[in-house]
Amino acid sequence: MTETFDIIRIKENSKETVKDVVVEEVPLTIMVGEKELVTLLCTPSDLKDLATGFLFTSGIIKKGEDIKSIIIDQEHWIANIVLVNPDIEEKLVFKRLFTSGCGRGTLFYSAADIIHRKKIVSDFKVAPARLRSLMLNFQKSSYLFLKTGGAHSAALAGTEDILIFKEDIGRHNAIDKVIGCALVSVGFKDKILISSGRISSEILFKAQKTRIPLLISQSAPTNQAVKLARDMGLTLVGFARGSRMNVYSAEERII
Amino acid sequence: MTETFDIIRIKENSKETVKDVVVEEVPLTIMVGEKELVTLLCTPSDLKDLATGFLFTSGIIKKGEDIKSIIIDQEHWIANIVLVNPDIEEKLVFKRLFTSGCGRGTLFYSAADIIHRKKIVSDFKVAPARLRSLMLNFQKSSYLFLKTGGAHSAALAGTEDILIFKEDIGRHNAIDKVIGCALVSVGFKDKILISSGRISSEILFKAQKTRIPLLISQSAPTNQAVKLARDMGLTLVGFARGSRMNVYSAEERII
């Protein structure tokens, strides 16, 4: 459920390569009969429980006995489910077309997005002290979080200061608000994307679309986020708290 | 962006009614032309930015100029978007049917789920000291979080101890794992559902399916979660940290 990476850990006046343990993320596709229901990004443990719980809390099954069998394919990350009553499958199509809504994290990525991802080319550079100061401003700006304790924030910064700051109950939404605003105003060139939330592959794919050179978060990344950032050549900084930060990829931009 | 509720705040030896400021949650449906693309649960601010950013990070538009107009209907929470190139709509249908996958929080709730929600009838009761001790055990059990800082956890407890404990990168998944496991083993009667994560309406809908009497979290609820819990008669406890906790609904179960 974890993967270890060699990363750069920056503290007040030191910089060292250390081993860092990162949480694992896999895409589990839930198939009911022949139908693809959904893909959940998840930790690869207790996947039968996850599939059962998802079907139950989504209202697709009413009790455990409604499931005839679940087979988890750990090679392709597929939960193959057969229901006792196959009529339910018809209902799934209906639900998918008319009422499926997504709290957050909907993925419309096609295979081409992944295959055609190009390296981010940018000679943007920033000093750790500058990042620390930006993160301090970022945390101070979180009006909604300070008031309710229940909000995420995201921001776009230049090397000097924060240019756009947004809050939302969802970390994906906060980032989409910042990106949507930047798209029609200051753009993404030589900018830094800041998040209060954990960095999963979904967040990396959002960042990738902007070609931004640097993504920094107070929180942890997943192993897939680290791998994608390395593939893309995007500088990913995590656990940016106080004077400490972890650089997971493209560390040449942190001088 | 916030709503104030009268709640019960419990500390070491005190219990008082206080005003609590809770973050607001609305369901924003993104319509592209005549087509319903997705419903995002979000904070009602910067909704044009959110819609723009969502379309961009989902790969549906390539630049800000691809959008002809966005009108936000704040009564029905709809973002009505007209694209410059209406051909893109065809592509959306394709994407919806074949590649839409959902990181977390997929909703398959039908209108009937909401209309037919029944009050939870249960004479289950628990003392604050017992909840504190359960939460302490809960936090200590978070192996993956302690190791990586990037995981959520959820658990099912009786009044005596934790019976099921699961971890995942997603708070929705962690809860689904617990519910899936309980569904085919210990059931939900007189049980407590514990979460490390924020409590949005989606989490409430999951809990509602189980008819569990009590949901407790270390984190904040949204206003919709508080309202749903009050409607359902589910005891919702938030910010359960150290000796403190906030009781948002059905406080008669906390004795």
- Residue A167's DSSP bridge partners are A153
Whether residue B23 and residue A106 make contact (CB cut-off 8 A), yes or no, is no
Lowest mean pLDDT among A28-32, A89-93, A136-140, A251-255: A89-93
Enumerate the residues of chain B whose CB falls inside 8 A of the CB of residue A179: 52-53, 56-57
Determine the 3-state secondary structure of A159 from DSSP.
Answer: coil
pLDDT at A138 over 90: yes
Distances (CA, A) of A170 to A135, B13, B26, B137: 19, 34, 11, 28
pLDDT at B114: 53
pLDDT at A117: 64
Whether residue B144 and residue A1 make contact (CB cut-off 8 A), yes or no, is yes
Token readout for A174 is 């906060």
Enumerate the residues of chain A whose CB falls inside 8 A of the CB of residue B167: 1, 43, 45
CB atoms within 10 A of CB A245: 23
pLDDT at A86: 80
Question: CA B29 to CA B24: how far, in whole Å?
Answer: 16
B102 counts as catalytic: yes
Residue in chain B closest to A58 (alpha carbons) equals: B108
Identify the DSSP state of A61. -
Whether residue A180 and residue B51 make contact (CB cut-off 8 A), yes or no, is yes
pLDDT at B116: 52
pLDDT at A29 over 50: yes
pLDDT at B84: 93
The residues in B 120-159 lying below 8 A from A, measured between CB atoms, are 144, 147-151
**What integer best gives the mean pLDDT of chain B?**
89
pLDDT at B93: 57
Backbone angles phi, psi at B214, to 5 degrees: -140, 130
pLDDT at A114: 54
Whether residue B109 and residue A222 make contact (CB cut-off 8 A), yes or no, is no
- The answer to whether residue B116 neighbours chain A at the CB level (below 8 Å) is no
Enumerate the residues of chain B whose CB falls inside 8 A of the CB of residue A3: none
Residue in chain B closest to A107 (alpha carbons) equals: B101
Whether residue B56 and residue A209 make contact (CB cut-off 8 A), yes or no, is yes
Question: CA B106 to CA B64: how far, in whole Å?
Answer: 27
Whether residue B106 and residue A38 make contact (CB cut-off 8 A), yes or no, is yes
- CA A231 and chain centroid, separation: 16
Can you give the pLDDT of all 255 residues of chain B as single tens digits? Answer: 999 999 999 998 899 999 999 999 999 999 998 888 888 999 999 999 999 999 999 888 999 999 999 999 999 999 999 999 888 776 665 444 433 333 333 444 444 455 556 899 999 999 999 999 999 999 999 999 999 999 999 999 998 999 999 999 999 999 999 999 999 999 999 999 999 999 999 999 999 999 999 999 999 999 999 999 999 999 999 999 999 999 999 999 999
Interface test with A, best of B104, B178, B200, B217 (most A CBs within 10 A): B104
Whether residue B148 and residue A22 make contact (CB cut-off 8 A), yes or no, is yes
Q: At what angle do helices A47-57 and B171-183 cross, to 10 degrees?
A: 90
CB atoms within 10 A of CB B160: 9
Average pLDDT over residues A7-35: 93
Average pLDDT over residues A41-48: 95
Q: Name the residue among A196, A41, A206 with its Cα closest to residue B174.
A: A41
Q: Name the residue among B82, B113, B103 with its Cα closest to residue A28.
A: B103
Lowest mean pLDDT among A64-73, A101-110, A160-169, A186-195: A101-110
pLDDT at B86: 80
- Give the list of residues 6+ apart from residue B184 with CB closer than 8 angstroms, or none: A52, A64
Q: Which value does ipTM take for this structure? A: 0.89
pLDDT tens digit string along B68-90?
Answer: 999 999 999 999 999 998 887 76
Measured in angstroms, the CA of B220 and the nearest CA of chain A are apart by 5
How many CB pairs below 8 Å do chains A and B form together?
285
Measured in angstroms, the CA of A20 and the nearest CA of chain B are apart by 8
Choosing from A14, A57, A102, A115, the catalytic residue is A102
Distances (CA, A) of A142 to A53, A103, A150, A151, B34: 34, 22, 11, 8, 36
The residues in B 49-108 lying below 8 A from A, measured between CB atoms, are 49-60, 63-64, 95-97, 99-108
Measured in angstroms, the CA of A125 and the nearest CA of chain B are apart by 25
Interface test with B, best of A1, A68, A104 (most B CBs within 10 A): A104
The answer to whether B4 touches B20, Cβ cutoff 8 Å, is yes
Enumerate the residues of chain B whose CB falls inside 8 A of the CB of residue A41: 103-104, 169-170
pLDDT tens digit string along A103-117?
Answer: 333 444 444 455 556
Interface test with A, best of B22, B108, B223 (most A CBs within 10 A): B108
Token readout for A140 is 């101070």
pLDDT at A126 over 60: yes
- Give the list of residues 6+ apart from residue A57 with CB closer than 8 angstroms, or none: B175, B176, B179, B205, B206, B209, B210
Measured in angstroms, the CA of A153 and the nearest CA of chain B are apart by 11
Q: Name the residue among A76, A8, A35, A167 with its Cα closest to residue B2.
A: A167
- The answer to whether residue A163 neighbours chain B at the CB level (below 8 Å) is no
